[in-house]
Protein backbone atom coordinates (compact mmCIF):
# COMPACT_ATOMS: atom_id res chain seq x y z
CA UNK A 1 0.00 0.00 0.00
CA UNK A 2 1.19 3.50 -0.73
CA UNK A 3 1.70 6.14 1.94
CA UNK A 4 -0.73 9.05 2.24
CA UNK A 5 1.41 11.43 0.15
CA UNK A 6 1.70 8.90 -2.66
CA UNK A 7 -2.06 8.31 -2.53
CA UNK A 8 -2.62 12.05 -2.94
CA UNK A 9 -0.15 12.06 -5.81
CA UNK A 10 -2.10 9.29 -7.56
CA UNK A 11 -5.36 11.17 -7.05
CA UNK A 12 -3.76 14.28 -8.53
CA UNK A 13 -2.71 12.37 -11.65
CA UNK A 14 -6.13 10.73 -11.90
CA UNK A 15 -7.87 14.09 -11.86
CA UNK A 16 -5.45 16.12 -14.02
CA UNK A 17 -3.83 13.62 -16.38
CA UNK A 18 -0.17 14.35 -17.15
CA UNK A 19 1.32 16.65 -14.49
CA UNK A 20 4.80 18.14 -14.18
CA UNK A 21 7.08 17.43 -11.22
CA UNK A 22 6.94 21.13 -10.29
CA UNK A 23 3.14 21.13 -10.27
CA UNK A 24 3.04 17.98 -8.18
CA UNK A 25 5.50 19.42 -5.67
CA UNK A 26 3.43 22.60 -5.35
CA UNK A 27 0.13 20.73 -4.97
CA UNK A 28 1.51 18.36 -2.32
CA UNK A 29 3.70 20.93 -0.55
CA UNK A 30 6.70 18.64 -1.04
CA UNK A 31 10.18 19.13 -2.46
CA UNK A 32 10.90 18.11 -6.09
CA UNK A 33 13.38 15.55 -4.76
CA UNK A 34 10.68 13.95 -2.59
CA UNK A 35 8.27 13.91 -5.53
CA UNK A 36 10.86 12.24 -7.75
CA UNK A 37 11.42 9.52 -5.13
CA UNK A 38 7.67 8.92 -4.90
CA UNK A 39 7.40 8.79 -8.68
CA UNK A 40 10.22 6.28 -8.84
CA UNK A 41 8.44 4.05 -6.31
CA UNK A 42 5.12 4.32 -8.16
CA UNK A 43 6.76 3.65 -11.53
CA UNK A 44 8.46 0.55 -10.11
CA UNK A 45 5.08 -0.78 -8.93
CA UNK A 46 3.58 -0.14 -12.37
CA UNK A 47 1.10 2.49 -11.27
CA UNK A 48 2.48 5.46 -13.25
CA UNK A 49 4.47 6.32 -16.35
CA UNK A 50 7.31 8.85 -15.95
CA UNK A 51 7.92 11.23 -18.84
CA UNK A 52 10.36 14.15 -19.29
CA UNK A 53 9.82 16.20 -16.12
CA UNK A 54 6.27 14.91 -15.62
CA UNK A 55 4.18 11.82 -14.90
CA UNK A 56 0.80 10.25 -15.67
CA UNK A 57 -1.20 7.21 -14.60
CA UNK A 58 0.10 4.09 -16.33
CA UNK A 59 -1.81 3.08 -19.46
CA UNK A 60 -4.63 0.65 -18.65
CA UNK A 61 -4.48 1.13 -14.86
CA UNK A 62 -6.64 4.23 -14.35
CA UNK A 63 -9.86 2.44 -13.40
CA UNK A 64 -8.14 0.10 -10.96
CA UNK A 65 -6.24 2.91 -9.27
CA UNK A 66 -9.30 5.12 -8.96
CA UNK A 67 -10.57 2.95 -6.10
CA UNK A 68 -7.29 1.81 -4.56
CA UNK A 69 -5.81 5.31 -4.42
CA UNK A 70 -8.90 6.72 -2.74
CA UNK A 71 -8.96 3.81 -0.30
CA UNK A 72 -5.51 4.74 1.01
CA UNK A 73 -6.14 8.49 1.07
CA UNK A 74 -7.01 9.86 4.56
CA UNK A 75 -6.95 6.27 5.80
CA UNK A 76 -6.57 7.11 9.51
CA UNK A 77 -9.56 9.46 9.36
CA UNK A 78 -11.65 6.90 7.47
CA UNK A 79 -10.97 4.18 10.02
CA UNK A 80 -11.83 6.46 12.93
CA UNK A 81 -15.06 7.56 11.23
CA UNK A 82 -15.95 3.91 10.57
CA UNK A 83 -15.44 3.02 14.22
CA UNK A 84 -17.87 5.76 15.27
CA UNK A 85 -20.38 4.59 12.65
CA UNK A 86 -20.17 0.96 13.81
CA UNK A 87 -21.66 1.99 17.16
CA UNK A 88 -24.93 2.78 15.33
CA UNK A 89 -25.42 -0.76 13.99
CA UNK A 90 -28.18 -2.63 15.86
CA UNK A 91 -28.78 -6.40 16.00
CA UNK A 92 -30.85 -7.89 13.17
CA UNK A 93 -31.62 -4.60 11.45
CA UNK A 94 -31.41 -4.10 7.70
CA UNK A 95 -28.69 -1.64 6.75
CA UNK A 96 -27.54 -0.39 3.38
CA UNK A 97 -23.86 0.25 2.71
CA UNK A 98 -22.89 2.22 -0.37
CA UNK A 99 -19.66 1.52 -2.26
CA UNK A 100 -17.51 4.30 -0.77
CA UNK A 101 -14.03 3.69 0.60
CA UNK A 102 -14.94 5.02 4.07
CA UNK A 103 -17.95 2.69 4.13
CA UNK A 104 -15.59 -0.18 3.26
CA UNK A 105 -13.82 0.52 6.55
CA UNK A 106 -17.21 0.28 8.32
CA UNK A 107 -17.77 -3.11 6.65
CA UNK A 108 -14.51 -4.29 8.19
CA UNK A 109 -15.76 -3.25 11.64
CA UNK A 110 -19.01 -5.11 11.04
CA UNK A 111 -17.03 -8.18 9.97
CA UNK A 112 -14.95 -8.14 13.16
CA UNK A 113 -17.99 -7.78 15.43
CA UNK A 114 -20.45 -10.54 16.34
CA UNK A 115 -23.64 -8.49 16.00
CA UNK A 116 -26.04 -10.28 13.59
CA UNK A 117 -27.09 -7.89 10.84
CA UNK A 118 -28.61 -7.86 7.37
CA UNK A 119 -26.38 -5.93 5.00
CA UNK A 120 -27.41 -4.76 1.54
CA UNK A 121 -24.74 -3.12 -0.61
CA UNK A 122 -23.96 -2.06 -4.16
CA UNK A 123 -20.22 -2.27 -3.40
CA UNK A 124 -18.36 -5.25 -4.84
CA UNK A 125 -15.45 -4.83 -2.42
CA UNK A 126 -17.84 -4.59 0.53
CA UNK A 127 -19.80 -7.70 -0.50
CA UNK A 128 -16.52 -9.60 -0.85
CA UNK A 129 -15.33 -8.35 2.55
CA UNK A 130 -18.47 -9.61 4.30
CA UNK A 131 -19.19 -12.72 2.22
CA UNK A 132 -17.77 -15.21 4.74
CA UNK A 133 -18.86 -13.48 7.97
CA UNK A 134 -21.27 -15.98 9.56
CA UNK A 135 -23.17 -13.29 11.52
CA UNK A 136 -23.80 -11.13 8.43
CA UNK A 137 -26.50 -11.82 5.84
CA UNK A 138 -25.26 -10.09 2.67
CA UNK A 139 -27.31 -9.08 -0.38
CA UNK A 140 -25.58 -7.49 -3.37
CA UNK A 141 -27.61 -4.90 -5.26
CA UNK A 142 -27.49 -5.66 -9.01
CA UNK A 143 -26.77 -3.22 -11.81
CA UNK A 144 -24.10 -1.97 -14.18
CA UNK A 145 -20.57 -2.33 -12.80
CA UNK A 146 -18.89 1.04 -12.42
CA UNK A 147 -15.28 -0.07 -12.20
CA UNK A 148 -13.96 3.30 -11.01
CA UNK A 149 -15.79 2.77 -7.71
CA UNK A 150 -16.30 -1.01 -7.80
CA UNK A 151 -20.02 -0.30 -7.53
CA UNK A 152 -23.28 -1.51 -9.06
CA UNK A 153 -25.27 1.43 -10.43
CA UNK A 154 -27.83 2.44 -13.02
CA UNK A 155 -31.51 1.68 -13.72
CA UNK A 156 -31.34 -1.98 -12.61
CA UNK A 157 -29.86 -0.99 -9.24
CA UNK A 158 -32.42 1.79 -8.79
CA UNK A 159 -35.26 -0.62 -9.64
CA UNK A 160 -34.07 -3.28 -7.17
CA UNK A 161 -33.70 -0.71 -4.41
CA UNK A 162 -37.27 0.45 -5.08
CA UNK A 163 -38.60 -2.86 -3.78
CA UNK A 164 -36.64 -2.75 -0.51
CA UNK A 165 -36.72 -0.81 2.76
CA UNK A 166 -33.78 -0.25 5.12
CA UNK A 167 -33.46 0.90 8.72
CA UNK A 168 -30.56 3.15 7.74
CA UNK A 169 -28.11 3.82 4.94
CA UNK A 170 -24.43 4.54 5.51
CA UNK A 171 -23.33 6.75 2.65
CA UNK A 172 -19.84 7.85 1.65
CA UNK A 173 -19.76 11.04 -0.41
CA UNK A 174 -17.60 12.82 -2.96
CA UNK A 175 -18.56 16.32 -1.83
CA UNK A 176 -20.82 18.31 0.53
CA UNK A 177 -21.27 22.04 0.00
CA UNK A 178 -22.02 24.72 2.60
CA UNK A 179 -25.80 24.23 2.14
CA UNK A 180 -25.56 20.52 2.93
CA UNK A 181 -25.98 19.43 -0.70
CA UNK A 182 -24.29 16.11 -1.47
CA UNK A 183 -23.00 15.52 -5.01
CA UNK A 184 -21.24 12.85 -7.06
CA UNK A 185 -18.90 12.70 -10.04
CA UNK A 186 -21.05 10.14 -11.88
CA UNK A 187 -24.72 10.48 -12.92
CA UNK A 188 -25.64 6.81 -12.39
CA UNK A 189 -23.86 6.71 -9.03
CA UNK A 190 -25.72 9.85 -7.95
CA UNK A 191 -29.15 8.47 -8.89
CA UNK A 192 -28.41 5.11 -7.25
CA UNK A 193 -27.32 6.83 -4.04
CA UNK A 194 -30.36 9.11 -4.13
CA UNK A 195 -32.60 6.04 -4.32
CA UNK A 196 -30.74 4.56 -1.35
CA UNK A 197 -31.61 7.64 0.68
CA UNK A 198 -35.27 7.52 -0.38
CA UNK A 199 -35.58 3.87 0.70
CA UNK A 200 -33.97 4.28 4.14
CA UNK A 201 -35.34 5.37 7.48
CA UNK A 202 -32.16 7.19 8.45
CA UNK A 203 -29.29 8.71 6.48
CA UNK A 204 -25.80 8.50 8.01
CA UNK A 205 -23.12 10.25 5.97
CA UNK A 206 -19.48 9.24 6.48
CA UNK A 207 -17.11 11.92 5.23
CA UNK A 208 -13.68 13.14 6.24
CA UNK A 209 -13.22 16.92 6.49
CA UNK A 210 -11.65 17.22 3.02
CA UNK A 211 -15.13 16.63 1.52
CA UNK A 212 -16.59 19.73 3.23
CA UNK A 213 -17.44 22.90 1.26
CA UNK A 214 -16.91 21.15 -2.08
CA UNK A 215 -19.22 20.34 -4.97
CA UNK A 216 -19.18 18.00 -7.95
CA UNK A 217 -21.49 17.65 -10.95
CA UNK A 218 -24.44 15.41 -10.06
CA UNK A 219 -26.81 16.04 -7.14
CA UNK A 220 -27.58 13.20 -4.72
CA UNK A 221 -29.54 14.68 -1.80
CA UNK A 222 -29.45 17.45 0.81
CA UNK A 223 -28.75 16.81 4.48
CA UNK A 224 -31.79 17.63 6.59
CA UNK A 225 -33.53 17.08 9.91
CA UNK A 226 -32.93 13.61 11.32
CA UNK A 227 -29.85 12.94 9.19
CA UNK A 228 -26.43 12.35 10.74
CA UNK A 229 -22.93 13.35 9.63
CA UNK A 230 -19.87 11.57 11.04
CA UNK A 231 -16.46 13.12 10.35
CA UNK A 232 -12.97 13.45 11.75
CA UNK A 233 -13.25 17.24 12.23
CA UNK A 234 -16.13 19.62 12.97
CA UNK A 235 -17.65 21.70 10.17
CA UNK A 236 -16.87 25.41 10.19
CA UNK A 237 -18.43 28.66 9.02
CA UNK A 238 -21.50 28.55 6.82
CA UNK A 239 -21.55 24.76 6.70
CA UNK A 240 -21.61 24.48 10.50
CA UNK A 241 -24.38 27.08 10.64
CA UNK A 242 -26.43 25.19 8.05
CA UNK A 243 -26.17 21.87 9.91
CA UNK A 244 -27.29 23.52 13.14
CA UNK A 245 -30.25 25.27 11.52
CA UNK A 246 -31.31 22.20 9.53
CA UNK A 247 -31.23 19.89 12.53
CA UNK A 248 -28.51 17.58 11.24
CA UNK A 249 -26.80 15.58 14.00
CA UNK A 250 -23.01 15.68 13.97
CA UNK A 251 -20.62 13.11 15.46
CA UNK A 252 -16.89 13.72 15.58
CA UNK A 253 -14.83 10.54 15.48
CA UNK A 254 -12.09 9.86 18.00
CA UNK A 255 -8.59 9.48 16.51
CA UNK A 256 -7.32 5.91 16.71
CA UNK A 257 -3.92 4.98 18.16
CA UNK A 258 -1.20 4.87 15.52
CA UNK A 259 -0.93 1.09 15.80
CA UNK A 260 -4.60 0.80 14.75
CA UNK A 261 -3.84 1.98 11.23
CA UNK A 262 -0.13 1.42 10.77
What are 129-157's pLDDT values in tens digits? 999 999 999 999 999 888 777 889 999 99
- Extents of the domains making up the chain: 4-66, 75-260
Per-residue three-class SS string for 83-99: HHHHCCCCCCCEEEECC
pLDDT of residue 15: 60
The fold of the 4-66 domain, in CATH, is Arc Repressor Mutant, subunit A (1.10.10)
Band the pLDDT of 67: cuts 50, 70, 90. Answer: low
Mean of all residue pLDDT scores within the chain: 88
Asked if 52 and 228 count as a contact pair (C-beta separation under 8 A), the reply is no
Pairing of strands 203-206, 218-222: unpaired
Asked if 123 and 141 count as a contact pair (C-beta separation under 8 A), the reply is no
Asked if 47 and 29 count as a contact pair (C-beta separation under 8 A), the reply is no
Same fold, 4-66 and 75-260: no
Give tens-digit pLDDT for 97-117. Answer: 999 889 999 999 999 988 999
Instruction: Given CATH 3.40.50.10800, say whether it is the number of domain 75-260.
Output: no
- Angle 179-182-186 (CA atoms, 0-180°, nearest 5)? 145
Q: How far apart are CA 52 and CA 35, in angstroms?
A: 14
Asked if 122 and 115 count as a contact pair (C-beta separation under 8 A), the reply is no
Give tens-digit pLDDT for 164-202. Answer: 999 999 999 988 999 999 998 889 999 999 999 999 999
pLDDT of residue 217: 87
Asked if 39 and 50 count as a contact pair (C-beta separation under 8 A), the reply is yes
Exposure string over 160-186, b if 16+ CB within 10 A, otherwise e: bbeeeebbbbbbbbbbbbbebebbbeb
Q: How many helices (H) and strands (E) does the chain have?
A: 10, 15
Amino acid sequence: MTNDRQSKLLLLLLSRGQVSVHEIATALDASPATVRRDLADLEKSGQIDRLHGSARIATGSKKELAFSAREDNQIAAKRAIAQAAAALVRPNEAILLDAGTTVLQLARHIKSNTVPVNVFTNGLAIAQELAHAAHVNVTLIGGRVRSENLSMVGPAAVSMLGGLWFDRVFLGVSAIDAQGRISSLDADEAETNAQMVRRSGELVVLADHTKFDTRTTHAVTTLGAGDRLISDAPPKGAFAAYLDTAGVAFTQSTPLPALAYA
